[in-house]
Amino acid sequence: MHKAVKSTVDWPAIREEFPILRERVNGHALIYFDSAASSQKPTAVLDVVRNYYEHENANVHRGLHTLSARATEHYEKSRQRVADFIGAKNADEIVFTRGTTESINLVAQAWGGKFLKSGDVILLTEMEHHSNLVSWQLLAERIGARLRYVPVNDDGTLKIDNLDSLLTPEVKMFAFTHVSNSLGTINPVTKLCAKARNVGAVTSIDAAQSIGHMPLNVQEIGCDFLAFSGHKMCAPTGIGVLYGRAEILEATPPWHGGGEMIVSVSLEKSSYKKPPHRFEAGTPNIAGAIGLAAAIDYLEGIGREQIFQHDVDLARYALDRMTEVKGLRVIGPKENRAGVISFIMEAAHPHDLTTFADRYGLAMRGGHHCNQPLMKRFGVTGTTRASFYLYNTREEVDRMIEILQKAVAFFK
């Protein structure tokens, strides 16, 4: 799917741009292999956020003074930057939220609450993060909709050979992840959206794990909604995005009530702004949006195709070296995968293993990764997960292998 690109990026220099990576943890150099949970932030983003607070900070859209105008201009420019980054037709298709979870809840509660009814089917997959599962369960319970799931094959890919039997005309919403946060599986999103369109289903993509790691264009994918979080793509926490195709956002009612989202309010009744402001009640995360635009500048300066290749190369190298560790089993696809590796070690429970690794400064994640149904599908309660990003190196992977070898001896 993605062509190999020869890297011209100076990766060690990139690493230097992330101050936190100079931290020492338990007397060791930090190895941060938990970027699927949250990425680290480069100086370029930290500086922009600091500069905002030092020179522009004020509330947006409300004030008639200079600082408010500066903040508003920067905030709205950031919306345009996001639109360009994901190939949206215009900035009005970009709603700022707190993150992927809030974006998905917005789709479920506001769009789903209006357009889905009792008996309709919401099609999800067995590999969804809880945020793309529980949000739909809450709605289904409330309105009497039915949930259906695309199963996962033993190799961690989606079982889509018989998708037509699941994607029937009763399906009104097909919501799925782009990249699995546990397995690293990359789903064929363009094909899935085309199939959904054939039966008239609306599509919603969880791009939390893909957005900062690979090129992504919503018009080429052909999705109706797409959700992501800033903190997984070098931006601050507390900012995220819901992309919604213009016609569909236009038809979606507001969900949170408050300031900023209204045209007029009387004691009897209110009228609402057009999207995206209709969905942004209250003071937004202004610094977060500005930081997100800075992160986009940063990532595009390097190149998303280059970042993708870097992640994939590291994952391939790690998968190769992991075969040297006794009793280690990887869960997930061998090919066409992102830089997220889930594994089980005979010697130790994932919690014990990650705690052990932390003693050597290695940050991994152990547990169900908000994927309990997926863990059940593979007959485990959790895995250990190593996830890579642009600042990670092969030397760090070598060090991880050494630490895993130590764990084999320690837990014997």
Ligand X SMILES: Cc1ncc(COP(=O)(O)O)c(C=O)c1O
Catalytic annotation, residues: 370
Q: Is 126 in the site for ligand X (CB under 6 A)?
A: no
Secondary element (H or E) of residue 183: none
Q: Does 204 bind ligand X (CB under 6 A)?
A: no
As to burial, measured by CB atoms within 10 angstroms (0-12 exposed, 13-18 middle, 19+ buried), residue 32 is buried
- Kindly state whether residue 177 participates in binding ligand X, applying the rule CB under 6 A: yes
Return the sign of the alpha-carbon dihedral for residues 26, 31, 37, 40: positive
Stretch that binds ligand X, among 133-141, 201-209, 346-354, 399-407 (CB under 6 A): 201-209
Site for ligand X in 19-58 (CB under 6 A): 37
Tell which one of 41, 129, 172, 278 touches ligand X (CB under 6 A): 129
Q: How many CA atoms lie within 13 A of 166 on its CB side?
A: 23
The answer to whether 109 contacts ligand X (rule: CB under 6 A) is: no
Residue carrying structure tokens 């070296």: 321
181 lies in the binding site for ligand X (CB under 6 A): yes
Q: Which of 40, 72, 101, 384 binds ligand X (CB under 6 A)?
A: 101
Q: How far is the CB of 206 from ligand X (least distance, A)?
A: 5
Nearer CB in complex with ligand X: 83/208: 208
Looking at beta carbons, which pairs linking 279-283 to residues 24 or more positions away fall under 8 Å? 279/95, 279/97, 279/106, 279/110, 279/242, 279/249, 279/252, 279/254, 279/255, 280/95, 280/96, 281/254, 281/256, 281/257, 282/256, 282/258, 283/59, 283/60, 283/259
Q: Return the residue of 99, 212, 275, 332 that touches ligand X, per CB under 6 A.
A: 99
Closest alpha carbon to 124 in 155, 96, 147: 147
- The single-letter code of the amino acid at 15 is R
Minimum CB–partner distance for residue 100 and ligand X (Å): 4
Helix (H, G, I), strand (E, B) or coil at 297: helix
**208 lies in the binding site for ligand X (CB under 6 A):** yes
**What are 117's two structure tokens?**
């009814």
> What gap in Å lies between CA 138 and CA 364, rounded to an integer?
31
Verify binding: residue 354, ligand X, rule CB under 6 A: no
Nearest residue (CB) to ligand X, 72 versus 132: 132
Size of the residue set binding ligand X (CB under 6 A): 13
Closer to ligand X by CB, 151 or 259: give it. 151
Looking at the Cβ atoms of 121 and 338, the one nearer to ligand X is 338
Q: Is 185 in the site for ligand X (CB under 6 A)?
A: no
Q: Please list every residue from 217 through 236 that binds ligand X, using CB under 6 A.
A: 229
Shorter beta-carbon distance to ligand X: residue 72 or 100: 100
Strand 225-229 and strand 94-97: the pairing is unpaired
Give the nearest distance from C-beta 70 to ligand X in angstroms. Answer: 28
Binding site for ligand X (CB under 6 A): 37, 99-101, 129, 131-132, 177, 181, 206, 208-209, 229
